[in-house]
Amino acid sequence: MISKVKNAMSTLVGGMMPHGHHHHPGAGQHCPGDSLPPRFPYGRPDFLELTPELLQYSTEHASRPVLTLKRGTRLPWRTGYAEVINAGKSMLNEDQASCEKLFVKKPSGKHRNSTLLEDNGDGTGIPMHFWGVFDGHAGSGAAIMASKLLHRLIRDRLGEICHLLENPNSAPPICLAKNGNAYQVDSKKGAPQEPEDPDAVCDSTLRFHMEKTVSLESLIMGVIETAFKQMDDLIEKEKASYAISGGCCALAAIHLMGKLYVANAGDSRAIIIRNNEVIPMTNEFTPESERQRLQYLGFLRPELLGNEFTHIEFPRRIQHNEVGKKMLYRDHTMTGWAYKTIIEDDLKFPLIYGEGKKARVMATIGVTRGLGDHDLKVYNSNIYIKPFLSCVPEVMVYNLDENKHGSNDVLVMGTDGLWDVTTDREVADAVSAYLSCCDPSDPMRYSLAAQDVLMRSRGVLKERGWRLPNERLGSGDDITVFVVPLAGGELET
């Protein structure tokens, strides 16, 4: 993510070396973890198998080398991958990625508290595939931590409902006893009810009249949603002991039992390309797309605005001498604009300000969902921004088993650096064209396609910066791309 957080950006990067102490707190960014060791050292995804020399090479802003898998390395599900560092906005690549095959199983006594350390266990259980891209801002700490742990949190939470996953054809029970089994109330004999319960009969009647059926799919969506929250809480908790800088957008795809769950919190994007047709699998969460939610919070909890901001949106800053005149505005209930008479209070800075990539919450941050950012404050103030940010993803489901897929049908996941300069359609055309010219048996084909589409967004370095073939500016941001073949599960050996 480029320049998504004002003032606190280019200098605030985690140390390259383990336990590095090269933190330069950005202006206005309170860094209680300054003297603490990082939770995980900076690095690139393990599957890239970078030597220290290559790791150093990967940070060269002048050449921006595109990194991909070594020939011979295989990712689960035949996944293709490519990444490139930004054009200089931060010393290090603040994007991170993970691609894992895991196994969901019932937590055993032994594992209950230590599974976060494990990826594969003993290889038994329900197989689950995970792909994650994490686009950091104001430091790489949160993105690195999420790339190491989010998939395990999801796996562990799925483990808790493992016995329900094993019966995919029966709806999950509404109530579970402490042993995890369905809690059944026998309405005729009467359940063991507290004698003072005056609603017992009424409840019992109601219960049999009105009981929602919840699908297993909704339960898995709920697991993913709550795991994101748990990840965010864990970052907050561990900040007491470790330096975990910044925040990150999180985009995750989970394959479980024939379905693909795509969960997005931030402005990364995923699309499915099937028969050269584009199926969007995410919506982006930005100050513009979430304007009404943010304004509503500012309206209901004005104390969060710290007397510095107004929840009302104006098309530009108001000048003191305009008080009493009429200006266009919109509040949290409106989509259109109307005129209002300007009062003193309207001179405060708008909670949402700017357009497109320049839109900001509280003049600070350009994304409204993600993980971390617990310490993020408005420049030169004591106003926290975290209450306005959501860590909960939107989850979309694609039924993989119900569709036929050729070897050129893929899921493309990318950080905003990819999509800022290339449309969905252009990405789909590029990937489809590349794959159809590519040897179907080449194990590198999806990585090569990822590399190809990434280069289209990066461009080439000319005198006037990174340029696309059409001379428009290329993306100066970190870029991370997964190309996941939809038939990859069948192809996997």
**112 counts as binding its own copies under rule CB under 8 A:** no
Please report, as residue ranges, which positions from 43 to 82 form the binding site for its own copies (by CB under 8 A): none
Which of 99, 395 has the CB closer to its own copies?
A: 395
**Going by C-beta distance under 8 Å and a sequence separation of 6 or more, which residues neighbour residue 460?**
466, 467, 474
Name the β-bridge partners of 137: 247
**352 counts as binding its own copies under rule CB under 8 A:** no
**6 counts as binding its own copies under rule CB under 8 A:** no
Residue 162 DSSP SS3: helix
* CA 25/CA 31 separation, integer angstroms: 6
**425 counts as binding its own copies under rule CB under 8 A:** no
Residue of 337, 345, 399, 442 interacting with its own copies (CB under 8 A): 337
**348 counts as binding its own copies under rule CB under 8 A:** no
Residue 312 DSSP SS3: coil
Q: Using alpha carbons, select from 49, 67, 46 the residue that is nearest to residue 58.
A: 67
**460 counts as binding its own copies under rule CB under 8 A:** no
* CA 17/CA 52 separation, integer angstroms: 10
Which of 99, 378 has the CB closer to its own copies?
A: 378
Q: Both tokens of residue 48?
A: 């890239």
CB of 209 to its own copies, least distance (A): 9
Residue of 193, 241, 275, 283 interacting with its own copies (CB under 8 A): 193
Which of 71, 212 has the CB closer to its own copies?
A: 212
* CA 166/CA 313 separation, integer angstroms: 50
Q: Which amino acid is at 472?
A: R
Residue of 226, 276, 289, 381 interacting with its own copies (CB under 8 A): 226
Name the β-bridge partners of 83: 67, 480
DSSP state for residue 243 in the 8-state scheme: B
Residue of 17, 27, 116, 177 interacting with its own copies (CB under 8 A): 177
Residue of 353, 384, 398, 482 interacting with its own copies (CB under 8 A): 353
**166 counts as binding its own copies under rule CB under 8 A:** no
* CA 125/CA 8 separation, integer angstroms: 44
Which of 338, 491 has the CB closer to its own copies?
A: 338
**365 counts as binding its own copies under rule CB under 8 A:** no
**270 counts as binding its own copies under rule CB under 8 A:** no
**296 counts as binding its own copies under rule CB under 8 A:** yes
**257 counts as binding its own copies under rule CB under 8 A:** no
**Going by C-beta distance under 8 Å and a sequence separation of 6 or more, which residues neighbour residue 247?**
5, 136, 137, 138, 142, 370, 371, 372, 373, 376, 389
CB-based contact 257:168 (threshold 8 Å): yes
* CA 43/CA 33 separation, integer angstroms: 19
Which of 21, 112 has the CB closer to its own copies?
A: 112
**Binding-site size, its own copies (CB under 8 A):** 71
CB of 202 to its own copies, least distance (A): 9
* CA 347/CA 365 separation, integer angstroms: 21
CB of 466 to its own copies, least distance (A): 24
Which of 198, 469 has the CB closer to its own copies?
A: 198
Q: Both tokens of residue 141?
A: 């700490």
Residue 349, exposed/middle/buried by CB under 10 A (0-12, 13-18, 19+)? middle
Which of 27, 177 has the CB closer to its own copies?
A: 177
The gap from C-alpha 49 to its chain's centroid, in whole angstroms, comes to: 24
CA distance readout (Å), 209 to 177, 198, 205 = 22, 19, 6
Residue 70, exposed/middle/buried by CB under 10 A (0-12, 13-18, 19+)? middle
Please report, as residue ranges, which positions from 194 to 213 form the binding site for its own copies (by CB under 8 A): 194, 197, 199-200, 203-204, 206-207, 210-213
**237 counts as binding its own copies under rule CB under 8 A:** no
Mask 380-419, x = binds its own copies (CB under 8 A)? ----------x-x-xx------------------------
First-to-last CA distance in the chain? Answer: 35
Interhelix angle 216-238/141-160, nearest 10 degrees: 140
CB of 85 to its own copies, least distance (A): 29
Which of 22, 325 has the CB closer to its own copies?
A: 325
**189 counts as binding its own copies under rule CB under 8 A:** no
CB of 220 to its own copies, least distance (A): 7
**192 counts as binding its own copies under rule CB under 8 A:** yes
Which of 143, 342 has the CB closer to its own copies?
A: 342
**186 counts as binding its own copies under rule CB under 8 A:** no
Please report, as residue ranges, which positions from 315 to 334 form the binding site for its own copies (by CB under 8 A): 315-317, 319-322, 324-328, 330, 333-334
Phi-psi region of 125 (alpha: psi -120 to 50; beta: other; left: phi over 0): left
**123 counts as binding its own copies under rule CB under 8 A:** no
